[in-house]
Structure 1
Amino acid sequence: MKIDLHSHTKCSDGELSPEELVLRASNKGVDVLAITDHDTVSALEPARDAIHKHKLPLKLVAGVEISTRWHGFEIHVVGLNIDDKQPELVALLTQQQNTRDKRAEKIAAKLARVLPESYGFTAEIIMQKVLEKAQGQSISRVHFAKTLLEAGIVDRMQQAFDKYLGRKGKAYAAPEWISVEQAIAAIQAAGGHAVLAHPTRYDLKNKWVRKLVDYFAEHKGDAIEVGLPRQNNNELIQLATYAQQAKLKSSQGSDFHRVSSYTELGSLLPLPEFCEPIWTDWNMVNPA
């Protein structure tokens, strides 16, 4: 069974619509897919409709990826098998979207100050372009990166993060996200499982990755992502060992955002046999 529990749509920083995503997942032989957009669940209903419309043999897991703060780092917590209409969760995600909007305004203001005047980019013009790219959905730094790329200010997306939008960038704005434990509590209150997303992808040294995993376990998190995209076997075993030692279950996901040669839906190394998968007690038979 091919299981992918981390993916994104246009509703946050992905490039495919919910319908396009579930169709691609089915075409790639994925049996179980979680849509985990950043701080929004707006893709879930259209994805369910598309699965029904096309009669896809695909089990959809309701998910979300919540942005949090921990020791100055932006840490992501994935919620799986959530009740996406639970009032408290909906209220929290609305709060997160407001935080995103305020952060976007700060980034736009900083970019306007550091970009050469020859580009004619005021904060208002930058925000207008970013909002056009977001199309009413969740604003992310990816939308800023695309704006910089299209204007010829950078040659590639990663350069936009390295020079302007990343933690060491000229226009970086520290987010005021909720805490890790608040995200865990909200996900579990909505009947879901809280999963620490891609623990080794936060530019943390190994000892800090281990501290993060232990912190997550201490605050009653359910699992960590062990199977990641673009992963070698050593990283897989390292994360599986961390999960086992912290008595956490294991999850996996491609973190799919767009069609590329780097990531693909369902393209993951198998979890080691000593892992306890997060989906052990889930019903994987009936499609959504």
Structure 2
Amino acid sequence: MAVIRADLHAHTTASDGMDSPAELVARAAARGLDAIAVTDHDTMDGVEEAKLQGERSGVIVIAGVELSTARGGKDIHVLGYGPDRSDPLWLERLSAQGKVRERRNELLLRRLGQLGIDLTLGQVLDAAALGGGGVPASLGRPHFAAALVKAGAVSTVREAFELYLAEGAPAYVEIPRITPEEGIRWIVEAGGTAVLAHPGLYHDDAEVERLASAGGLAGIEAFHSDHTPEEELKYARLAERHGLLATGGSDYHGSRGGEIRHGDLGSRTVDARALMERMKG
């Protein structure tokens, strides 16, 4: 089988991306990708539209998700490829993830109010809808950042994160989440393949080693737009040492206010054959 050039980490308007699922796949085709994984935060609502566009564009669409988990107040994301979208327990678990996100958003609005910024949920939803896909299934901090820019509270999305929304910033809300091990188990129990997302962003290689050796993971996202070349080599070797796949993706979200968060589509690609074989197994 020929090489399948794929970007295995991309977001759509189903969560905090700016491209609709169909637009994402069309863009992937225009950039010469053979495959694209749709990995929205805590939702798979964009997958069906993406697959239909994939059939039209001749692009393989891998159904995915990026689960929000945490340990010790630190966010850790787990990518899931190919979980059964008709599995009732999986759907129930995704719904529970959505409820946690809704509660976080309520507390975030309250925290901003305490800081003297009177932002409403309606303003956040309006900013989210500017992506062109209507109200997303999964509302996240980038939507709050866009609303803060639109309200004139900050000048850029980057400034919104630096001043208010990033981990450790005044408006950041720490809320109980499932552990990475639970997220991995959920994906595997739904028939999916679990990969640890962007390990370099956690600044905790001991945690990465623990998860890599604990069982359940099929891979490590070694190649990511926010990793340095040295980090990519380090995590590729870590994956090899533990018998795991070294996967990669851009973490594409599109352009918001002229800023591209993480990387542009196709800026990180890998041969998807090994992952697809693992998904079949």
Specify the TM-score bucket, using the shorter chain as the normaliser. Answer: 0.7 to 0.9
The Cα of 1:133 is off from its aligned counterpart by 3.2
Structural mapping, 1:48-59, within 5 Å: 48-52=51-55, 55-59=56-60
Q: Which has the larger radius of gyration?
A: 1
Q: Which residue of 1 aligns with 2:275?
A: 278
Deviation track 1:120-179 (CA, whole Å, cap 9, x = no partner) reads x2xxx5212112334152110111111111122112111111111112211111032111
Deviation track 1:199-219 (CA, whole Å, cap 9, x = no partner) reads 0012x1xxx224323224314
The Cα of 1:231 is off from its aligned counterpart by 4.2
The 8 Å contact of residues 77 and 196 in structure 2, kept in 1 or not, is answered as yes
Q: Which residue of 1 aligns with 2:19?
A: 16
The Cα of 1:65 is off from its aligned counterpart by 0.3
How many Å separate the matches in 1 of 2:32 and 2:136? 31
Structural mapping, 1:155-194, within 5 Å: 155-194=155-194
Structural mapping, 1:194-205, within 5 Å: 194-202=194-202, 204=203
Which among 235, 240, 260 is matched to residue 239 of structure 1? 235
Q: Is 1:255 aligned with 2:232?
A: no
Query: Which one-letter code corresponds to 1:130 in the other structure?
Result: V
Change (3 A) 1:227 1:277: farther
Q: Which residue of 1 aligns with 2:7?
A: 4
Q: Structure 1: where are the runs of 5+ without partners? A: 284-288
Change (3 A) 1:38 1:139: same
The CA RMSD over aligned residues, in Å, is 2.0
Query: Which one-letter code corresponds to 1:43 in the other structure?
Result: G
Q: Which residue of 2 aligns with 1:98?
A: 99
Q: Which residue of 2 aligns with 1:77?
A: 78
The farther-off stretch of 256-265 and 144-153 is: 256-265
How many Å separate the matches in 2 of 1:239 and 1:256? 20
The 8 Å contact of residues 210 and 242 in structure 1, kept in 2 or not, is answered as no
Deviation track 1:19-45 (CA, whole Å, cap 9, x = no partner) reads 100000010011011100000000001
Q: Which residue of 1 aligns with 2:89?
A: 88
The 8 Å contact of residues 66 and 77 in structure 2, kept in 1 or not, is answered as yes
The 8 Å contact of residues 40 and 138 in structure 1, kept in 2 or not, is answered as yes
Give the TM-score, by structure 1 length: 0.86
Deviation track 1:177-200 (CA, whole Å, cap 9, x = no partner) reads 111111111111111110000000
**SS at 1:10 equivalent:** coil
Q: Which residue of 2 aligns with 1:128?
A: 122
How many Å separate the matches in 1 of 2:185 and 2:270? 29
How many Å separate the matches in 1 of 2:49 and 2:148? 30
How many Å separate the matches in 1 of 2:81 and 2:68? 15
Among all aligned residue pairs of Structure 1 and Structure 2, give the percentage whose two residues are the same amino acid: 33
The Cα of 1:280 is off from its aligned counterpart by 4.5
The Cα of 1:98 is off from its aligned counterpart by 0.4
Number of aligned positions between the proteins: 266
How many Å separate the matches in 2 of 1:218 and 1:136? 34
More strand, by proportion: 2
How many Å separate the matches in 2 of 1:95 and 1:270? 32
How many Å separate the matches in 1 of 2:143 and 2:26? 24
Q: Which residue of 1 aligns with 2:108?
A: 107
Which among 195, 201, 219 is matched to residue 223 of structure 1? 219
The 8 Å contact of residues 7 and 270 in structure 2, kept in 1 or not, is answered as no
How many Å separate the matches in 2 of 1:92 and 1:270? 30
How many Å separate the matches in 1 of 2:37 and 2:174? 28
How many Å separate the matches in 2 of 1:106 and 1:233? 37
How many Å separate the matches in 2 of 1:257 and 1:136? 13
